[in-house]
Amino acid sequence: MTKCAWCQSDTLSETYHDEEWGIPLHDDHKHFEYLMMEVMQCGLSWTLMLKKRETFRQCFDNFDYDKIAVYNEKKIADIMQTDNMNKSERKIRAIINNAILYKQIIDEFGTFDKFLWDYSGHKTIVYKSRQKTHVASNDLSEQVSKELKRRRFKYLGAITVYVHLQACGIINDHEETCFRYQYIMDHFPVEVKE
């Protein structure tokens, strides 16, 4: 079975690719989990984030944004002292900030999922040009990031947002030869763009 080249260096990445990455996602809890991990990833490798996923789950109440939104100084100190945890207090505070703002989006739109998928017309987008060259961000990720920044989200610039759009299936960036590419093309609403 042919797979994207990036996932074949380790078992965790391969499992993430095969079971999660790029499959259209419509679950607010899972969106927040990915966003939280992407905030933690800034400047680090995704494989490291996958290795720390259980630690994140433990520290952040199974990625429950309702609980995270009310974390206090004691909770932040407890997280900072957890073994295997990223020791960036700024990122931890950013996640708490983002949880508060995430809930505001849910209050306004009904779900974060609706807010995000409205940007693509509720379709997965395939950029044909992306299949030929590596892209770290694009107009869509710039647009979403600009809105999130306007709402005071932290650590969610255009590159990080692009990573999220890939992960949640708004952008199908699987290689055309990858088994997941065709699965998405066959099972979900798709729009192909140059």
Query: Which amino acids are annotated catalytic?
Result: 16, 38, 46
Token pair for 18? 């095969």
Residue 103 burial class via C-beta count within 10 angstroms: exposed 0-12, middle 13-18, buried 19 and up: middle
List of residues 6+ apart from 52 with CB closer than 8 A: 40, 84, 85, 86
Radius of gyration of the chain from its Cα atoms, rounded to whole angstroms: 17
Q: Rounded to whole angstroms, how far apart are CA atoms 78 and 72?
A: 10
Please state, in angstroms and rounded to a whole number, the distance separating the CA atoms of residues 97 and 100.
5
φ, ψ of residue 127 in degrees (nearest 5): -95, 110
Q: Which residues contact 40 (CB under 8 A, 6 or more apart)?
A: 49, 52, 56, 86, 88, 91, 95
